[in-house]
């Protein structure tokens, strides 16, 4: 079978790079740049989503030396769900929706664990925008420690360079809500400032991603009203936490969550530059194993507590998962809290990352569901995303026989 032109070019560039040593610490080789530009393409996304450490500089989030065991009580997926006008077997969901790994937990126990496409329990999966919710968690920890006074702190207290931009006079809460009123179209697949920021930071590693905020000067409306998804604003939350605590976010996350929560594997952040200057790509570059994502979801379900230790204030878990004003997406039936998506008609909330990454938490049914995927971006993936939301609701309501 003849290889697509992109792959022929990529393989040639990779071979040339390996022979010439073209990839220096301070630059990105043509081969790596080409890969990063195309990592969302369906033919390679399932591989890209579990091997980002090969193509990016990274910073480790160290795990616990004494990992916390997750009880396992396997149950058959004996329910159905409705999507696209038809009923489907839950046992077929993963194969139908571009899934790479799926975890369902009920009452703190794993009732279903599934790996596809040659992934394993050691595979570390790219979060994409699920990383934004980690920024929210760490902001809550920083507030509890007094490193940040409150969500009402002005952005300029931590990022004075943003005076004179659209963020002048706004608060941390506006960022967490993504209701700043700033004029921004968060679509890096089309020409514009969003794509420029993505290419400069994520693809070419020549500019820190958060610096794109300096160029956001205009407001499209008053702050605190309309939701407008903005990855730069999520990165600003990560930057504020980093500056407030005086250490890289990866270190802070390790010390406050990853180690004390008993995570079993090191996680890592993709950096937006070489380690000497690069910052964690907190808008979408976190990577962890399926079970460790499950542990995070369980921690949130238990209102920030792990093994009797309060790692995240319960009040912050409640506040940060309560929908902000207005709807986020009428099509998906979602609202938006402090960098968490909420589900209309339910108490449930979810991390949500590009290509169908989910850490779904439902306090009412005591359910945590992790889905890690390679759903195509755009209209081609819309049916799978809609089906995923339908499955999450059905799986949450499902009560397995002999439920643990």
Reported confidence tier of residue 7, pLDDT bands at 50, 70, 90 = very low
Distance CA 185, CA 283 (A): 15
Q: What pLDDT, on a 0 to 100 scale, did the predictor assign at position 3?
A: 46
Asked whether the whole model's pTM tops 0.75, one would answer yes
CATH fold label, 80-397: Beta-lactamase (3.40.710)
What are the domain boundaries of the chain? 5-55, 80-397
Lowest average pLDDT, out of 27-41, 54-68, 69-83, 355-369, goes to 27-41
Query: Alpha helix (H) ranges present in 192-230?
Result: 193-198
Q: What pLDDT, on a 0 to 100 scale, did the predictor assign at position 227?
A: 94
Distance, CA of 95 to chain centre: 22
Hey, what are 157's tokens?
């207290």
Write out 249-314 in H/E/C secondary structure: HHHHHHHHHHCCCCCCCCEEEEECCCCCCCCECCCCCEEECHHHHHHHHHHHHCCCEECCEECCCH
Q: What pLDDT, on a 0 to 100 scale, did the predictor assign at position 331?
A: 64
Instruction: Dump pLDDT digits (tens) for 39-76.
Output: 999 888 999 999 999 999 999 999 999 999 999 999 99
pLDDT at 1 over 50: no
CB 37 within 8 A of CB 52: no
Instruction: Dump pLDDT digits (tens) for 144-190.
Output: 999 999 999 999 999 999 999 999 999 999 999 999 999 999 998 89
pLDDT at 374 over 80: yes
């Amino acid at each position: 079978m003849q290889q697509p032109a992109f792959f022929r070019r990529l393989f040639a560039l990779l071979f040339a790079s390996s022979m010439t040593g073209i990839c220096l610490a301070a630059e990105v080789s043509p081969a790596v740049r080409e890969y990063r530009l195309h990592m969302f393409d369906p033919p390679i996304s399932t591989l890209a989503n579990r091997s980002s450490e090969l193509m990016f500089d990274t910073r480790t989030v160290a795990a616990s030396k004494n990992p916390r065991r997750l009880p396992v009580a396997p149950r058959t997926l004996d329910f159905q769900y409705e999507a696209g006008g038809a009923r489907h077997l839950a046992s077929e969901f993963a194969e139908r929706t571009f899934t790479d790994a799926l975890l369902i937990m009920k009452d703190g126990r794993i009732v279903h664990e599934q790996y596809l496409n040659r992934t394993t329990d050691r595979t570390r999966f790219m979060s994409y925008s699920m990383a934004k919710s980690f920024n929210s968690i760490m902001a809550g920890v920083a507030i509890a420690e007094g490193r940040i006074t409150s969500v009402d702190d002005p952005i300029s207290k931590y990022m004075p360079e943003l005076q004179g931009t659209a963020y002048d006079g706004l608060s941390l809460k506006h960022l967490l809500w993504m209701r700043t009123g700033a004029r921004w179209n968060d679509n890096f697949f089309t020409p514009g400032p969003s794509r420029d920021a993505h290419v400069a930071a994520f693809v070419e590693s020549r500019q820190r991603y958060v610096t794109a905020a300096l160029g956001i000067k205009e407001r499209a409306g008053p702050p605190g009203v309309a939701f407008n998804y903005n990855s730069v604003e999520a990165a600003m939350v990560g930057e504020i936490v980093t500056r407030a605590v005086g250490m890289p976010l990866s270190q802070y996350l390790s010390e406050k969550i990853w180690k004390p929560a008993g995570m079993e594997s090191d996680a890592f952040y993709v950096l937006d530059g070489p380690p000497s200057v690069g910052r964690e790509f907190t808008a979408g570059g976190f990577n962890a194993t399926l079970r460790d994502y499950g542990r995070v979801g369980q921690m949130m379900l238990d209102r920030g507590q792990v093994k009797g230790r309060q790692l995240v204030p319960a009040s912050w878990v409640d506040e940060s998962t309560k929908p902000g004003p207005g709807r986020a997406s009428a099509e998906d039936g979602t609202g938006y809290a402090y960098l968490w998506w909420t589900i209309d008609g339910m108490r449930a909330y979810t991390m949500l990352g590009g290509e169908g990454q989910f850490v779904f938490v439902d306090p009412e049914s005591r359910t945590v569901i992790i889905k890690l995927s390679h759903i195509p971006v755009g209209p081609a993936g819309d049916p799978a995303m809609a089906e995923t939301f339908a499955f999450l609701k059905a799986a949450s309501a499902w009560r397995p026989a002999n439920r643990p």
